[in-house]
Chains A and B, each alone.
Chain A
């Protein structure tokens, strides 16, 4: 069974666990507001399974699709009210859909002042991930089975190899993404030091469409394009990134010499703290550069 859930009524603060129990955990992460974790995980929840990787710096959650797309969510240690780790690196894999269901088990309503508190604990290899969730005096304990973590893909995307980079305010891209012609199989990205500078194109049943962002637009915070590049990416792979875009206030778009795409989203959580989500995507086909 993937999951065991226990619900306890009555006031039982999450901190009152026996000392011996606490000693067993190699990872303990607590949040006063579980939404600071669940919201960002929703931005990468296009597949069922996620790889968790915890270090001193915090938590990194990875989701992949078809060996062509990878999404990572970074929640730094200082976002958590408590973040204790007893190994250098801890890795496990869980069902992300189940995890999100547990994190939002109290319904996820946004009544001001009321939030779900979370204490996430892990004993180690072979043990389930234990979640203690509390809201308004009601405590729920969830134990989610963990699996051997798969090795995440290495897209080998390094900043030294970046050909073109722009940073845009998310609002303008949000509109474009919501209007994208879904009958188009690909999304073509053109980045160039000259016109059209930054262009998103679709090729659908009724015709094609282009969204052009000039380099001097006030939505463009940074424009560093060295070479004209046109790359196509599968629409089905990129469409899920719309969720991350929706949460973010800024996005950086980078392509490297191979045409690989890196999208990095700056997300502010409920408390105004910054987290990051990034998407890596392989190009669909070679398009001759002009």
Chain B
């Protein structure tokens, strides 16, 4: 393989590498037949290497922008060597010879077009939404129904509900460039990977699309334009196959239930008042005692660029299914009391007064 990238594209390539480095530790490279690759048909080799080695070549984005005119990438399968040559201003030539390991080709098995639910929005929307979650948050839950999308943080089942902070955001379908929902649904996946993609998408200014189905099947986050396509395929937490035995909670069992459309008027105050005084169905999941089958591994697929092909592999070993807590905006219910239907309960809005450390339930 021998390919060349020039000018601003080198920075895009570097950003892609940095973005991928937030996902996993190894980078897989695979030249493809289409595009402008020069991979001889008989050379069906693929390589993987520690992503840190490649990242070091593109370490400083500002210096790349300032001085790199051309970037050439050559793959030598006999010597298991990847050569990246940066042609810089003033005639300076930087050559990096990185060794790689041969490996099997990775291909994620997915078809994003067949997904029942598609959301597409400018990266700014996603970034602004994700900003509300603490940096340490691992997983986020996205629920859709009708004309709304909710994002909330996913809380571990063993977390102390009285100490957990719940954050929930609701977005109207109008905020999205494209909003196609086939059924009410709710998926949970790793926020870290989403953030990694958003860093890349924001700098490229390309809209981000989310394709998903039921919980358990992968969600595909996608960014594309005429010269590149990035697909991040992530595992989602699967639904519990077994129902919980002490099942007083009927309706809330497996499917997400959207809150009533009190957001119609976008009046936060009236919504909060309504929450405190009435019985409302809220998005909730029934905890189940049996860990279901471990989530499957999702393979991420390629980020294709003008002349560069990379594949990354994500091995997501999620712990078995977790208990989901019922959530209100700003308030928390202890898991044990989720059993009954959500009729009148006194709830205190824990998150209302951030200054007061001594909140109690």
Contact = CB atoms under 8 A, between A and B. Distances in A.
A51 B243 CA distance: 80
Contacts of A181: 56
A213 B91 contact: yes
Contacts of B98: 206-207
A172 B90 contact: yes
A211 B67 contact: no
A31 interface: no
A176 B81 CA distance: 22
A276 to B, nearest CB: 24
Contacts of A175: 63, 67
Contact of B91 (A206, A209, A217): A217
A210 interface: yes
A216 interface: yes
Interface residues of B, number: 21
A179 interface: yes
A20 interface: no
B103 interface: no
Given A172-B90, A179-B60, A219-B90, A210 B95 contact: yes
A207 B53 CA distance: 8
B68 to A, nearest CB: 11
A212 B95 CA distance: 8
Contacts of A216: 91
A137 to B, nearest CB: 42
Given A175-B67, A179-B59, A206-B50, A213 B99 contact: no
Interface in B44-77: 49-50, 52-53, 56-57, 59-60, 63, 67
A210 B99 contact: no
B94 A207 contact: no
B92 A172 contact: yes
A209 B95 contact: yes
A208 interface: yes
A208 B57 CA distance: 11
Contacts of B296: none
B28 to A, nearest CB: 16
A214 interface: yes
A156 B242 CA distance: 83
Contact of B94 (A205, A206, A209, A217): A209
Interface in A207-232: 207-214, 216-219
Given A175-B67, A179-B60, A209 B97 contact: yes
A206 B99 contact: yes
Interface in B144-158: none
Interface in B64-114: 67, 81, 90-99
B23 to A, nearest CB: 19
A268 to B, nearest CB: 21
A216 B93 CA distance: 13
B81 A207 contact: yes
Given A175-B63, A206-B49, A213 B97 contact: no
A207 B90 contact: no
A48 B57 CA distance: 34
A217 B99 CA distance: 30
A194 B168 CA distance: 66
Given A206-B98, A207-B96, A207-B97, A217 B53 contact: no
Interface of A: 172, 175-176, 178-179, 181, 205-214, 216-219
6 contacts: A175-B67, A206-B98, A207-B98, A210-B93, A210-B95, A219-B91
Interface of B: 49-50, 52-53, 56-57, 59-60, 63, 67, 81, 90-99
Given A176-B94, A207-B96, 10 more contacts: A179-B63, A205-B53, A206-B99, A207-B98, A207-B99, A208-B96, A209-B97, A210-B95, A214-B91, A219-B92
